[in-house]
Structure 1
Amino acid sequence: MTGYYAPKGGLPPQTSLMTGRAVFTEAYCFIPKGCFSDIVTSALPGWEKARLWLIARPMSGFSETFSQYVMEVEPGGGSDAPDAETGAEHVIFVTDGLITLTIDGQGYELDAGGYAYIPPGSRWTVLAEGKTPARFHWVRKLYEPAPGLGAPTAFVTNDRDVKPSPMPDTNGVWATTRFADPADLRHDMHVNIVTFQPGGVIPFEETHVMEHGLYVLQGKAVYKLNQDWVEVEAGDFMWLRAYCPQACYAAGPGPFRYLLYKDVNRHARLRGPGAFGPAR
């Protein structure tokens, strides 16, 4: 698969209308591609020739498990110390350009569609090696250990090398590219790609404990978020708190694809942040 959307920044002209589609509610946040302007970019310590759009972060009372960045790194830029957060695990998904990623001394080249899982405690670096800016999604989460299970191991793959798994009874119009093995309970998050062919639907209102980040990589659709039907297209981001109802109708004319984060495979916390009991 090719043609992943990546924001280019810039600013709209002074003659543009202000009115847009962005909304923040108690159940979801919707950030349309028009919000990805220069004025809302950030920089990070330890990174050279890099900027980012920070599109999700833990927020008490909303979505509390993950952060997601859309990174843009100029040729020759990158970092030898990307993240000082102890215990964080990471997923990198490349939408444009070329990066060299090293994980505990092992080097990998990732182009568009490249996917990497980086376990907690890893030493890793990123360098933009191409002649054009490298653009990639960076999902971060504090790893939650489970009794009897070690942390997952690092792996690198590409969207084009992973066969999508059709959802049952859908004739293949709804499929999920699962980069991590769903049966591997060491993983406490999954970052997958969901694909709908024209006419594909989520035919019921999904309501579940998993938090979601959905960045539209390709195509367009209408997506139900809580009680609202929202038109979405490539470059838009949807951020859903736990139990926010969702559904989808992809009318076409081409495939509708999005990068999906969700937390998985762990007990609901009863103590500490986000729970009722005191922390131990």
Structure 2
Amino acid sequence: MPYAAPPAGLPRQDSLHTQRAVFTEAYAVIPAGVQRDIVTSYLPGWEGARFWVLARPLSGFAETFSQYIAEVAPGGGSNAAEPDAGAEAVLFVTHGQGTLTVGGTAHALEAGSYAYLPAGAAWSLKAGEETLRFHWIRKAYVPAEGVAAPEVFVTHEADVPLRWMPDTSERWGTQRFVDPEDLRHDMHVNIVTFEPGGTIPFEETHVMEHGLYVLEGKAVYRLNRDWVEVEAGDFMWLRAFCPQACYAGGPGRFRYLLYKDVNRHAALRAR
């Protein structure tokens, strides 16, 4: 299954500069067309790798997570990938092959692979014989009294069932990689799918912060006061309580990788 990727390179000099990028107090849209070579970052401890930083904790922006698209050249990678012992992570692979090693156990990765890495896990990653591309979502884990910390797991989206939302005629569904009632987890990273004509038929307004990366297709998304057209490769950030709705008009499926913070009390003071 193909997944969207940054176009990289640079537009031609005779291209119009107009894109759909927008940054507001309630949401942001970073369209695929602005994810170019000139906006990549390089990180300590990584070789042959560059990163598109889609979200980071920042006043007036993401509060609970960061999200990167990583592109690792053949043979590149890191022997000590995570510098923050308090950070948990999800990796979702969109292209290529590689080897993830956690606690001495090696896991083969390919497009569609999904890995959950708990806080404190020492992990390394090496690309195979072609470019490896993946999403890296990081969050400071919030422990809860009497609740065990979650464990490492590696799976593939093909092994996770698509469960349709009730009363949607199988037009809106979610692949959940973690049981929503598993209180060990304080974040979920799922894949949401809409068949043509599928819709979120009300303005969701809730405490979870969202990061949405469009893997496939196109739709119109209601973000706060605005309807915004989005397509494969676009990223959206939604602040907590930002009203949201969606209409996927087709012609094909509309799918996105969704982050949200869950299962913890609202912090009343700085942790």
TM-score clears 0.5: yes
CA displacement, residues 144-195 of structure 1 (integer Å, 9 cap, x when unaligned): 0001012100100011111111111112110000011112100000000000
Is it true that 1:135 corresponds to 2:133 in the alignment? yes
Whether the 8 Å CA contact 1:96–1:136 is kept in 2: the answer is yes
TM-score by length of 1: 0.95
Q: 2:60 & 2:29 partners in 1: Cα distance?
A: 17
Pairing 1:18-29 to 2, within 5 Å after superposition: 18-29=17-28
CA drift of 1:99 comes to 1.3
CA contact (8 A) 1:88 1:120 kept: yes
Aligned residues of 2:7 and 2:33 also touching (Cα < 8 A): no
Q: For residue 85 of structure 2, what is the aligned residue in structure 1? A: 86
Describe the superposition over 1:24-63 as per-residue Cα deviations: whole angstroms up to 9, x where unpaired.
0000010000011000000000000000100000112432
- Cα distance in 2 for residues equivalent to 1:66 and 1:8: 24
Distance 1:103 1:111 in 2: 16
Contact 1:212 1:241 in 2 (8 A): yes
Who is 2:171 aligned against? Answer: 173
CA distance in structure 1 between the partners assigned to 2:83 and 2:61 by the alignment:
25
Spell out the pairing of 1:59-208 with structure 2 (5 A cutoff): 59-129=58-128, 131-208=129-206
Question: Structure 2 CA distance, aligned partners of 1:38 and 1:125?
Answer: 25
Identity %: 67
Amino acid of the structure 1 residue aligned with 2:196: P
Cα RMSD (Å): 0.8
Give 5+ residue unaligned stretches, structure 1: 273-278
Secondary structure, in 3 states, of the residue corresponding to 2:158?
helix
CA–CA separation in structure 2 for the residues paired with 1:218 and 1:256: 5
**Does structure 2 conserve the Cα–Cα contact (< 8 Å) formed by 1:63 and 1:242?**
no
> Post-superposition, which runs of at least 4 consecutive aligned residues in structure 1 deviate over 6 A?
none
State which of 215, 219, 222 in structure 1 corresponds to 2:220: 222
Q: 1:217 offset after TM fit, Å?
A: 0.1
In structure 2, stretches of 5+ residues that fail to align are: none
CA distance in 2, matches of 1:161, 1:44: 32
Q: CA deviation at 1:111?
A: 0.5
Give the aligned partner of residue 261 of structure 2: 263
Equivalent residue number for residue 47 of structure 2: 48
Quote how far apart the aligned CAs of 1:237 are: 0.3
Answer yes or no: is the 8 Å Cα contact 2:217–2:254 preserved in 1: yes
Q: Alpha-carbon deviation of 1:19?
A: 1.2
Q: Distance in 2 between matches of 1:230 and 1:60?
A: 23
- Asked if structure 2 preserves the Cα contact closer than 8 Å seen for 1:41 and 1:51, the reply is yes
Conservation of the 8 A alpha-carbon contact between 2:41 and 2:53: yes
Q: Structure 2: which amino acid aligns with 1:33?
A: A
1:6-33 CA distance string (max 9 Å, x none): 1241000111111111000000010000
